[in-house]
């Protein structure tokens, strides 16, 4: 009898232990935020945070990261390539899991990309692509060529007889290089009727572009249109036109910023090649998680761009980004 009782006790104890083990598993594998088997740490660096576009894009990524239990380390190089390289090295030292990167200088950023690759930290390159594409895992960017092209097409329709135009660009930024190339292509068979009287570097900044535009207006008072590499540049051009009390000059930019859309509605700006920093941010995070989960992902992820002018600005609204 004692033997039977002893056997029953062992059986019951075994069942109890098995039940306890089975019951502990859900706490280890319970539904957790996206990819949060451990809390993921991301790095974010863009050419400058002195631009509403990048502020909105960073928030888009941050919202996704924090919603899923991760953290985002954001550093601002303030248009300084060496500072951005040092910041990437700092992120590597912090052992981030992945870096979201938009380069100050598409070629000059290479030492930072080399360092990240050596450390085994993946990089999602967003908005403005790097020159050394093999050193990043994925590129998530607007169709910048098309953003410029739709502006060029619009100008060719408005000025079929051509005229003098000025361009304020940012030659170290691949996104802006593509936009200006697209702009010139958009002029189509009217291209030879236009004369570019000035092309200078506004560094994508309103406060830099304004005095450049003022100087161009003084040197070429008969200029008929300006193309800005982004909306802050275009807004700097508009400020220069107002200071000089010049009217009737066409102004183009790229971004689709709320301030630019308001300027279009007010008649101060002609059009902008619109992109969506919100969608770029969401797509960048989506790709990042696919990389970290060792899932299949795309090397190139294009994000749609389109023209906003007086004909359709009300559809997009002037208060928020699209």
Q: What is the pLDDT of residues 245-291, one digit of tens each?
A: 999 999 999 999 999 999 999 999 999 999 999 999 999 999 999 99
Task: Tell whether 201 is covered by a domain.
Answer: yes
In whole angstroms, give the CA distance from residue 163 to residue 315: 31
Long-range contacts, 14-22 (Cβ 8 Å, 24+): none
Q: Are residues 206 and 170 in the same domain?
A: yes
Q: Is residue 190 located within the same domain as residue 203?
A: yes
- Smallest Cα–Cα separation from 216: which of 227, 205, 203? 227
95 belongs to a structural domain: yes
Q: Is residue 9 part of a domain?
A: no
The whole-number pLDDT of residue 38 equals 76
Same domain, 124 and 155: no
Residue 18: which pLDDT band, with cuts at 50, 70 and 90? very low
Residue entry with tokens 């660009």:
169
Residues 131 and 254 in one domain: no
Domain with 121 in it: what CATH number? 3.40.50.2300
154 in the same domain as 269: yes
pLDDT digits (tens, 9 = 90+) for 24-54: 332 232 334 454 447 999 999 999 999 999 9
Q: Is pLDDT of 17 > 50?
A: no
In this structure, are 127 and 54 located in the same domain?
A: yes
Q: In which element (H, E) is residue 296 found? A: none
Same domain, 185 and 270: yes
In a domain, 24, yes or no: no
pLDDT at 28: 31
Q: Give me the percent of the chain exceeding a pLDDT of 70.
A: 89
Residue with tokens 């598993």: 25
Which residues lie across from 142 on neighbouring strands?
303
Residue 23 lies in a domain: no
Q: Do 282 and 263 reside in the same domain of the chain?
A: no
What mean pLDDT comes out for the span 9-37?
A: 36
Domain that holds residue 205: 144-276+309-316
How far is residue 65's CA from residue 71's CA, in Å, rounded to a whole number? 6
Q: Per-residue DSSP letters for 212-267?
A: HHHHHHHH-TT--EEEESSHHHHHHHHHHHHHTT--S-EEEEEE--HHHHHHHHHT
298 part of a folded domain: yes
Together in a domain, 155 and 209: yes
Q: Please give the backbone phi and psi of residue 61, each rounded to the nearest 5 degrees, phi first.
A: -65, -45
In a domain, 102, yes or no: yes
Assigned token pair, 302:
């294009």
Q: Is 230 exposed, middle or buried (0-12, 13-18, 19+ CB in 10 A)?
A: buried
Instruction: Evaluate whether 203 touches 231 at the Cβ level (below 8 Å).
Output: no
Indicate the pTM of the whole model.
0.84
Q: Give the strand pairing for 271-274 and 306-309.
A: antiparallel
Q: What total of structural domains would you count in the chain? A: 2
Q: Return the structure tokens found at 15.
A: 């069942």
Residue at 281 is within a domain: yes
Q: What is each CA distance from 237 to 30, 59, 123, 233, 274, in whole angstroms? A: 55, 28, 35, 6, 18
Q: Are both 165 and 136 inside the same structural domain?
A: no
54 and 112 in a single domain? The answer is: yes
The region of weakest confidence among 14-18, 100-104, 133-137, 197-201 is 14-18
- Its sign, for the CA torsion 14, 16, 17, 19, is positive
Express each pLDDT in 111-142 by its tens digit.
Answer: 999 999 999 999 999 999 999 999 999 999 99
Q: Kindly state whether residues 149 and 262 are assigned to the same domain.
A: yes
Quick one: 155 exposed, middle or buried, by C-beta within 10 A (0-12, 13-18, 19+)? buried
Helices (H), 94-227: 110-118, 144-158, 174-186, 206-219
């Amino acid at each position: 009898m004692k033997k039977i009782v002893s056997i029953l006790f062992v059986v019951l104890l075994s069942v109890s232990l098995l039940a306890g083990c089975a019951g502990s598993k859900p706490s280890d594998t319970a539904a957790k935020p996206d990819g949060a088997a451990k809390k993921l740490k991301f790095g974010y660096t863009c050419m400058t945070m002195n631009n509403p576009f990048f502020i909105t894009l960073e928030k888009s990524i941050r919202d996704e990261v924090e919603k899923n239990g991760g953290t985002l380390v954001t550093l601002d190089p303030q248009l300084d390539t060496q500072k951005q390289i040092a910041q990437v090295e700092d992120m590597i030292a912090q052992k981030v899991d992945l870096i979201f990167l938009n380069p100050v200088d598409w070629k000059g950023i290479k030492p930072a990309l080399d360092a990240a690759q050596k450390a085994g930290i993946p990089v999602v390159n967003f908005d403005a692509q790097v020159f050394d594409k093999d050193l990043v895992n994925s590129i998530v960017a607007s169709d910048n060529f098309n953003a410029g092209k739709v502006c060029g097409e619009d100008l060719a329709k408005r000025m079929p007889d051509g005229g003098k135009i000025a361009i304020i660009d940012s030659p170290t930024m691949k996104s802006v290089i593509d936009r200006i190339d697209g702009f010139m292509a958009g002029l189509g068979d009217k291209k030879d009727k236009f004369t570019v009287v000035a092309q200078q570097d506004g560094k994508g900044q309103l406060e830099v572009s304004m005095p450049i535009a003022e100087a161009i207006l003084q040197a070429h008072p008969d200029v008929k249109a300006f193309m800005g590499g982004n909306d802050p540049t275009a807004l700097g051009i508009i400020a220069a036109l107002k200071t000089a009390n010049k009217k009737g000059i066409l102004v183009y930019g790229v971004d689709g910023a709320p301030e630019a859309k308001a300027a279009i509605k007010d008649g101060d700006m002609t059009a902008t090649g619109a992109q969506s920093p919100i969608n770029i941010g969401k797509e960048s995070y989506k790709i990042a998680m696919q990389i970290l989960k060792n899932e299949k992902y795309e090397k190139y992820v294009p994000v749609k761009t389109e023209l906003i002018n007086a004909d359709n600005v009300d559809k997009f609204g002037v208060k928020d980004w699209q």
